[in-house]
Structure 1
Amino acid sequence: MLLALGLAVPAAADEHHGTVATPVCHAATDAARTVEAMIPKDAWNCTGEGWTAREPLGWLRFDAASWQGEVVPRHFFTRTARFEAITLYALDRDGSLRGVRYTESEGKSFPGGPVFQLALPEITPDTTAVLARIERPHSIPLLTEAGLVRHTEDAARTLEEMMLLALVLGMLVLPLMFDVSFYLVLRESFVLFHALMVVAMMGYVLFAGGVISVVASLPVAFLAIMAPLCWAVGCGAALLFLSRFLERGALSRGMRRLTFWAGCWTIAVPGFFAIQFHATQAFDDTGYFLTITPAAVIVSVALIHAILRGSRSAKWVAAAWFPLILTSIERLTRGLGVYAGPASLDLMMFMATGIEVVVISLAIADRFFAIREERDAALTEARMLEQISTRDSLTGLMNRRAIEARFDELLTQGFNTFALIDLDRFKAINDLHGHQVGDAALIACANAIRTTGERDSIAVRLGGEEFVVLLRGDRTLERAEALRQAIPIRIAQDVPGLDLPVTASMGVITLAQAARRSMAFAEFYARADALMYEAKASGRNRLAYERLTVFAERPAPRKREEAA
C-alpha cells in the first residue's frame, strides 16, 4: 500500500509544481442565469463569505492574475461531491467565451486525494478569467475547495499525507481484529457496534481521504456518496456502542435510551442525506450537517453524565473521542459554509481517528478484563448459590432436591441400589444432650457414609436423621451393610460422652436391570422406607433388603436379610 501511495504522488516534474489558482469570486443563482450575465464583476461575491449550495447554480470565477507569470492551468479540480453538470468557460479580453460541459459521470478521480478533475477549455494569453458553472452542487466544499492547476499532481496530497492515511488505515485493522476476538469470548453487542464503527471509519479514510483512488478508479458519484455515508454510519455506531459499552448504572435509563435511539437516527437520517439525490439538492447538504450535529452533542452529554456517575470506561472513551469531536465540529463548520478552508484540514480528523483507535482499543481491553472479573465473580456466586441449594448446610452432603433432580441420570449410570438410613432413637440424643451434640452426631454419621474418592457411591442427607446412599457395581448389599456398621463406630469416635452407642437401621432396595427405568425417586423412597421401618420393628440396628425385578403397583413379597 505504501509503495502504491508513493507511486501515486510522484515528485515534482518541474519548478512550477505546487501552483494552484483559487477562485477569487463566487455566486449562487437560479437555473435561468446565463454565463453572459455573469461576465460583469458586479454579478459576483468577492468577499470570500456567503458560500451556499442551496441554489440550482453555483458559480466560480478564477481571474488570470492568479496564474499570470506562472504556467498556464490545464485542469479544474475540486472536492469530490455530487453535481449534475459542470461547464467551464475561458473568458478572453474581447468578451468571447469558449466552454466545455461535463456531466457527473465524466469527472475523473485521481490518486492522491479526495478530488476529481476536469480538463479546461483552451487557455490563451488573452484569457482574462475562467468561469465555472456548476449545476445542482450538493456540497459547499465542492465550491470552496476548487482550484486550477497545470498538473493534476499539484492538487494531490503529498506523499507524507498519504502515508499518514495509510498508517491510520493500518491502525484500524488492529481494533477490528480485537473486536472479532473479544466477541468470540464476550458475545456482547457493544463489540459488534464497535466493529461497525471501525469498518465505517476505514471506509471514511478510504473514500474521504482519497486512498481508494490509489488502487481503483471509481465514479465520482459513488465516491461522493460513500464518504459522508461512512461518516454517518460511524457516528451512529459510536452512539450505539456508547449505549451498550459503559458499566451498568453509568448511564441512567433515559440517557441510555436517548443515546441508543440517537445512534439509530444518525445512521438513518444523515445517511439518507448522504445519498444526495438531485431532487434534494436544495437542502441535503445543510440537512446532512444539521441532522448529524446532535450526535456530537449527545455523545458529549452522555460521557459527562457517565463520568459524573463514576464510570471508569467513560473516561477512556472521552479521552479517545475528544479530539475526534473537536475535529468533527471543525469539519461541520466548514461544511455549513461558516468559513472556507483547504481540504488538508481533514488530516486533523484522520489524525484524531488514529488517536481514537489506540485509546479505544485500550478502553475495550480494560472493559474486557472488568467484564471477565464480573463474570468470574458472578460464576463463583452462582456456584455458591448452587451449592447452597443442592447441598445440606450441616453435613455438606447432597440434599433431597439435588438427588431428585439427578435421579433418572444416576439410574442410567448404574446406581441401582438405594439404601435408606435412619439413626435409632435419635430424638433421645437431642433431648438428653442438646441439639449441638445431635448435630455433631449427624455430621459424624455423614462422615461415616461419605466415601471420598469413591465413584460408585453417593451419600445424601434427606433431612433430620435420614440419609440415603446410592451404590452401583459389585457387592452393593455388603458395602451398604459395612457403611451402616461404620456409623456407630464413627459417632462414638467423634462425639464422646454419649451413654449408649448410636446405631442405625437401613432399608435397601436393589433394582434389577430389566426394571431399571420403571421407578421414580419417590417410589424408591416409599419402598425403602417401608423396609427401614420393618428393620426398626425387628429390633433396630439392622438392615432389611429387597430386590425388585419388575415394576408393581404394590410392593411384592420381600426377601429380608437382618443383621444384628
Structure 2
Amino acid sequence: MTLERAFLAPHDAGATGDNFRTLLLLAALAGTLVMPLIFNAAFYRVLRERFVIWHSILTLSLLMTIVVSSGLAVILFDPPAMMLSSLTTILFGMTVSSGAMFTYYFIEPGQMHRGLRRSLPWCALWAGLLSACHAAFPFVARPVQSSAYTAAFAPILAIFLISMIDAVRRGSRAARYQAIGYAPMVVVGFVRLTSGLVPGMLSADAMMLFYIGCIAEVSFTTLGMADRFLTMRRERDRARTDADVLERLSETDPLTGLLNRRAIERQFEDLRAEGFSSLAVIDLDHFKSINDVHGHAVGDAVLEAAASALQNDRDVRAYRIGGEEFMLLLRGEDAAIHGEGRRRAISVCVANRLPKLNQAVTASMGMTHLIKQDCLASSYERADKLLYEAKRMGRNCTRGPMTADHLPKRSAAA
C-alpha cells in the first residue's frame, strides 16, 4: 500500500522546505482534533451515552493516524519503518471499527433499518480482525495480501453507505451531520479501494483529502453530538414541564380549583419551614341535606362558593381534602383571626352566590398549633377531634387553643 511504501522511503520526511510546511500544516490539523476530545469529556459528564465514548475513540484514532501517516511520528519519535507500517494498519482498523460503533449508537432509535443497525457491530469486528491479521503478517505475500486486505473492506464501505442513505431517508438528524462529515472519507475509501485493486494505480494523491476528511469527519460529528445534546435537553425540559403540569393537575381539585390532600402531603414540611404554624380543618354543616334537597349540582355550587371564601394569601394556604371538608395552613400571630374570618366568610359567599338557596350554609372548624415533633397525620388528627367537638357543641363555631379575645362568636346564621 502507498503508506507502507512511504515509510520505507530513504529521504528524511522533513528534509525539504515544502515538506516542512506541509508537516507544519498537518500538525496544526492534528491539533484541531484535540478540542473535540475536550468537548467529549464535557459532554460525557452531562450526557452518559455510549456514542460519546465511541466518538472519542474515533477522534483519537484519526489524530494518531495523522501523526503516523504524515511523517510527524518520524520527526518526533523516529520509530522503525515496520512499526509505522503496522501502526498505520491497526489505526485504520481502529478508525473503521470505532466509526461503525459510533454510528450504531449515535443514529436515533427507529431512524435506521434494524438489519442495517445490527450489521454495524459486525462490520466493526470484521475491520478490527482484518487490520490485526494484516499487521501481524506483513508482506507474507505482499501483492496478493494487500489487494485482498483492501478488497475485504468493500462490504463495510457498502453497508456504511446504505446505512447512511437509509438513516437520512428516514429523517435522522444525526445521519445528516455524519453524511456531511464522512463524505471526504468515503471518497478516499473509493480511491484507495480502486487503486488497491487496479494494478499500477497509486492512492498517494488522496492523502491530503484524507487529512481534510479526518478534520471534517470529527468536526461535523462533533456538531451532530452538540445538536443531539441540545435536542435531548429540550426533550428533557419538555418532559419535566409535562411532568410538572401533570403533577399540578394531580394536586388540584377539579371542582373548586383548590389544592388537594396530595398537595398538602408534599408541601407540609416546606410550609412549616416557611413559618406556617397552625392547621385548621373546616367542615360544612348539614351539607348532605343540601345534596338531598337541592341536588348535587347545587351542592357543587356551594362547594365552589365555600372554596372562594377560603382564598389563599401570603399567610394562608387552603386545600380541599375530600367531600365538604377543607384544610387551612396558617402563619403569623393572627392565624386564629384569619382562620375564623374565612370560616365565617363561607356563609356570606354562599348566600351571595346562591341567593335562591332557602337555607343558610355554615361551617364548623377545629384549629391547632403545630408543635416541633408534629407530622401532618398527628396535627390533622388533633384538628379533626377539635372539629367534631365543635360539631357536638352545636356547629357553626370553632374549637381550638385560642385566647379569650379571639374566641369567635356564633354568627346570626346559626
When normalised by structure 1's length, the TM-score is 0.61
Report the equivalent of 2:173: 312
Question: Cα deviation per residue 1:8-41 (whole Å; 9 max; x = unaligned)?
Answer: xxxxxxxxxxxxxxxxxxxxxxxxxxxxxxxxxx
Q: Report the Cα distance in structure 2 between the residues aligned to 1:459 and 1:270, rounded to whole angstroms.
A: 72
Matched residue of 1:230: which SS? helix
Q: What is the aligned partner in structure 2 of residue 86 from structure 1?
A: none
Shift of 1:415: 4.4
Contact 2:96 2:124 survives alignment (8 Å): no
CA distance in structure 1 between the partners assigned to 2:23 and 2:205 by the alignment: 11
For each residue in 1:493-536, what CA deviation from the matched residue of structure 2 results, as whole angstroms up to 9, or x when unmatched? 555544444322112233433xx14xx54444344333222322
Cα distance change of structure 1 residues 189 and 486 upon mapping to structure 2, 3 Å threshold: farther
**Alpha-carbon separation, structure 1, partners of 2:283 and 2:409:** 15
Counterpart of 1:399?
260
Give the match for residue 56 of structure 1: none
Residue in 2 that maps onto 1:115: 7
1:223 positional shift: 2.6
Aligned residue in 1 for 2:212: 351
Give the aligned partner of residue 537 of structure 1: 392
1:482 aligns with 2:341: yes
In structure 2, relative to structure 1, the CA distance for the partners of 1:295 and 1:406 (3 Å cut) is: farther
**Do the aligned residues in 1 keep the contact of 2:279 with 2:369 (CA within 8 Å)?**
yes
In the alignment, is residue 442 of structure 1 matched against residue 303 of structure 2?
yes
Helix, strand or coil for the counterpart of 1:507? strand
Amino acid in structure 2 at the alignment position of 1:233: M
Task: Quickly say closer, same or farther: Cα 1:473–1:233, change in 2 above 3 A.
Answer: farther
**1:235 is the counterpart of 2:127:** no
Counterpart residue identity of residue 344, structure 2: Q
Deviation at 1:279, TM superposition (A): 9.1
What is the alpha-carbon distance in structure 2 between the residues aligned to residue 508 and residue 273 of structure 1?
A: 84
2:132 is matched with which residue?
A: 272
Q: 2:77 aligns with which of 216, 223, 230?
A: 216
Structure-to-structure mapping, 1:106-145, within 5 angstroms: 115-117=7-9
Q: Give the CA deviation at 1:365.
A: 3.7
Report the structure, 1 or 2, having the larger strand content.
1
Gaps of 5+ in 1: 1-50, 52-77, 82-113, 119-148, 548-560
- Counterpart Cα distance in 2 of 1:263 and 1:482: 77
User: Comparing 363-372 with 196-205, which one deviates more in the overlay?
Assistant: 363-372
| 1:361, distance to aligned residue in structure 2 (A) | 3.9
Match of 1:459 among 318, 331, 345: 318
Return the offset for 1:326.
Answer: 2.7
Is this contact kept in 1: 2:366–2:398, CA < 8 A? yes
> CA offsets, 1:374-401, max 9 Å, x none?
2222221111122122332333433222
Shifted more, 242-251 versus 330-339: the winner is 330-339
Q: Is the CA contact 1:270–1:288 (under 8 Å) kept in the aligned structure 2?
A: yes
Q: Distance in 1 between matches of 2:118 and 2:217?
A: 24
Structure 1 residues 177-256: aligned runs within 5 Å: 177-256=38-117
> Which residue does the alignment assign to 1:101?
none
Secondary structure of the corresponding residue to residue 422 of structure 1 = strand
Structure number, greater radius of gyration: 1
Match for 2:363 among 486, 489, 504? Answer: 504
In structure 1, C-alpha distance between the alignment counterparts of 2:153 and 2:353, rounded to whole Å = 77
CA contact (8 A) 2:196 2:202 kept: no
1:528 maps to which residue?
383
**Is the 1:176–1:198 Cα contact (8 Å) retained in structure 2?**
yes
Q: Quick one: structure 1 residues 316 and 500, their matched pair in 2 at CA, closer, same or farther if it must change by over 3 Å? A: same
CA apart distance, 1:250: 0.9
Q: CA deviation at 1:411?
A: 5.3
User: Residues 430-461 of structure 1: CA distance to partner in whole angstroms, max 9, x if unpaired?
Assistant: 45555455444434433433323x2x543222
* Structure 2 counterpart of 1:296: 157
Q: Tell me the distance in 2 between the aligned counterparts of 1:157 and 1:262.
A: 42
Match of 1:504, as an amino acid? Answer: A
How many Å separate the matches in 1 of 2:355 and 2:199? Answer: 94
CA RMSD of aligned residues (A): 3.8
The residue type equivalent to 1:395 in the other structure is: T
Task: Mark the CA change 1:278 to 1:448 in structure 2 (over 3 Å): closer, same or farther.
Answer: same
Alpha carbons 1:171, 1:357 under 8 Å: kept: no
CA distance in 2 between counterparts of 1:162 and 1:304 reads 35
String of CA shifts for 1:101-151, please: whole Å, max 9, x gaps: xxxxxxxxxxxxx52455xxxxxxxxxxxxxxxxxxxxxxxxxxxxxx7x8
Percent identity among equivalent residues? Answer: 35
> How has the CA–CA distance of structure 1 residues 271 and 416 changed in structure 2, closer, same or farther, with 3 Å as cutoff?
farther
Q: What SS does structure 1 have at the residue aligned with 2:108?
A: coil
Cα distance change, pair 423–152 in 1 and its aligned pair in 2 (3 A): closer
2:280 maps to: 419
- Please state how far the C-alpha of 1:562 moved relative to its aligned partner: 6.2
Once residues 358 and 181 of structure 1 are traced to their aligned partners in structure 2, the CA distance between those partners, rounded to angstroms, is: 16
Distance 1:447 1:280 in 2: 90
How far off its partner does 1:341 sit? 0.7
Q: Is the 8 A contact 2:58 2:94 kept in 1?
A: yes
Q: What is the number of residues matched between the two proteins?
A: 405
Letter in 1 for 2:133: F
User: In 2, distance between residues paired with 1:156 and 1:449?
Assistant: 87
The letter for the 2-side match of 1:115 is F
Shift in alpha-carbon separation, 1:500–1:352, aligned structure 2, 3 A: same
- Residue-by-residue CA offset, 1:525-554 (whole Å, 9 max, x unaligned): 34433322232232222112269xxxxxxx
Encode CA deviations 1:275-334: one digit per residue, 9 max, x unaligned: x23599569867754665444233222222222323233233223223312312332444
SS at match of 2:328: strand
**Match of 1:265, as an amino acid?**
L
Q: 1:289 to 1:383 in 2, by over 3 A?
A: farther
Q: 1:497 to 1:269 in 2, by over 3 A?
A: farther
Residues 162-181 of structure 1 deviation map (CA, whole Å, 9 limit, x = unaligned): 35534532443444444344
